[in-house]
Amino acid sequence: MRHLSIRWRLTLWNVGVLAIIILGLSVAVLVLVQRYLWSRFDAELAEELREVVEDVSPYSLKEPVSNVITRRYDLHTHTFALVRTADGQDLLRSRFFVNLDLPLPDTPESLRGTRYDDLLIPNLGHFRFITQAFRAANSQLMVAQIAAPTANLEREYRGAWWTLGTIGPIALLVACVGGSFLASRALAPIEMITQTAERISAEKLTERLNVDRSDDELGRLSTTLNRMFDRLQESINEMRRFTADAAHELRSPLTVIRTEAEVALRTPRSADAYRQVIETTLEEVSRLSDLVNQLLTLSRHDSGIQIADSEEVPLDALLQDVAEKLHILAEQKQISLSITDLPDVTVAGDDVLLSQVFYNLVNNAVHYTNPQGKITVRGDRIGDEVRVTVEDTGLGIAPEHLSRLFDRFYRVDDSRNRASGGTGLGLAICRSIVESHHGHITVESQVGRGSKFAVFLPVKRTKNET
């Protein structure tokens, strides 16, 4: 089912709430109007009754009511009067009362206070009666009655009903149109945001949403989306850089292999010459294969590799193992490699990946340290973490390179490192592995004095703990 747009939903809610309010108010107003009309009507009847009693009081059966008074009541078109003595004889009777069967009490004595009755008189409609007993001037007990049709009152009430019944729907219609207009005005910036966001594609990554008012909801939404676009642009740019760098790195060994093969095929050569070509090719292929492996490792980490937290890796054994592997290389360069102060702890994670981190760091240290230099691997515990430092007395790194040192394909001295076989991926892989183990890696360095790489990892357990 298709959902209504926010604009229409807002409008309908608006109209719905207003309809309930109008309905409630109308009912309240009608009840009040009805009460007011009836009480006003009753007050008029009571006033009329008071006048009749006053007019008739001086008279009695022996002394009939003057013609002037009788005629006056005959002339009344909206109220009709009747005054009757206790023995049932009429002292005053408007023409209207003639031949009518009226709701009179049997005796005036049985009347207590003022009585109101409503009657439907056939062919004449609804009437309201007020009846009261009173004592005339000669102490004679009498009953006075006033009747009036309620048609006017009902017409007035219907008028109020119709007025409210007309105003209500008109108000709802206005609310519907106004609400829809206001909703579309309020939602217009969202439409603009949607259009701009749609335009921001991989090709137009630099475009951003306008943030006119950063303090309202839409301003905050635009700012958040802009920040998201910044991050998106940054990661797409990084991806593009990475792809370009990877292609560039792959191209160099491939070009060497191709050129070597083409040159070798041009003229017949000796077996030694062919052997040399094959050796060069093998060398380049092994470089290629290292590079592809490193790229693969990084892309696995990018796609969120899961590190088994349950596996416990004893740090001292792991570092001894790495040192053993690189011992001969260090010895060849007459570099002393020592491991000291290793805490007795284990870390949670993958031992192969963690070995690769320290192998890369020590290998780099050997690589970038001159003969007679010194490499020290040290470990200490800081709170819940263990810090392993790999310190060398090598070439050092200039401060301007330090912030980008862990970036992919970043090399301090491009030509020299490329010639020495470096890909610029080693430290990027280190950072990726350390971060996937919930740790972090830092570097401090001084040109000509040496570098110090520190890896921080959460401790799983101290070894002598049970």
Binding residues vs ligand ADP (CB under 6 A): 360, 364-365, 368, 392, 394-395, 397, 405, 410-413, 417, 422-428, 451
How far is residue 101's CA from residue 240's CA, in Å, rounded to a whole number? 106
The strand pair at 141-149 and 80-85 is best described as antiparallel
Question: CB of 201: closest distance to ligand ADP in angstroms?
Answer: 33
The residue among 210 and 370 lying less far from ligand ADP, judged by its C-beta, is: 370
Task: Give the residue carrying structure tokens 């007025």.
Answer: 163
The residue among 313 and 397 lying less far from ligand ADP, judged by its C-beta, is: 397
Question: CB of 319: closest distance to ligand ADP in angstroms?
Answer: 16
The residue among 150 and 360 lying less far from ligand ADP, judged by its C-beta, is: 360
Give the CB-nearest residue to ligand ADP. Answer: 422
Q: Which helix (H) or strand (E) holds 199?
A: helix 151-199
Reduced to 3 states (helix: H, G, I; strand: E, B; else coil), residue 334 is coil
Task: Give the residue carrying structure tokens 């009847």.
Answer: 45
Q: In the structure encoding, which two tokens stand for residue 254, read together?
A: 């491939």
Residue 392, sorted as left (phi over 0), alpha (psi -120 to 50) or beta, turns out to be: beta
Check: CB of residue 360 under 8 Å from CB of residue 426: yes
Q: On the CB side of 84, how many CA atoms lie within 13 Å of its CA?
A: 20
Check: CB of residue 348 under 8 Å from CB of residue 458: yes
The residue among 81 and 412 lying less far from ligand ADP, judged by its C-beta, is: 412
Question: CB of 425: closest distance to ligand ADP in angstroms?
Answer: 6
The residue among 108 and 394 lying less far from ligand ADP, judged by its C-beta, is: 394
Q: In the structure encoding, which two tokens stand for residue 258, read together?
A: 């191709």
Question: CB of 220: closest distance to ligand ADP in angstroms?
Answer: 40
The residue among 156 and 413 lying less far from ligand ADP, judged by its C-beta, is: 413
The residue among 7 and 408 lying less far from ligand ADP, judged by its C-beta, is: 408
Question: CB of 365: closest distance to ligand ADP in angstroms?
Answer: 4
How far is residue 444's CA from residue 398's CA, in Å, rounded to a whole number? 10
Question: CB of 1: closest distance to ligand ADP in angstroms?
Answer: 56
How far is residue 97's CA from residue 242's CA, in Å, rounded to a whole number? 110
DSSP 81-145: EEEEETTS-EEEE-GGGTT------S-GGG--SEEEEEEEETTTEEEEEEEEEEE-TTS-EEEEE
How far is residue 143's CA from residue 91's CA, in Å, rounded to a whole number? 10
Other beta carbons within 10 Å of 264:
17
Question: CB of 395: closest distance to ligand ADP in angstroms?
Answer: 5
Question: CB of 394: closest distance to ligand ADP in angstroms?
Answer: 5
The residue among 129 and 368 lying less far from ligand ADP, judged by its C-beta, is: 368
How far is residue 131's CA from residue 125's CA, in Å, rounded to a whole number? 19
The residue among 397 and 457 lying less far from ligand ADP, judged by its C-beta, is: 397
Question: CB of 207: closest distance to ligand ADP in angstroms?
Answer: 35
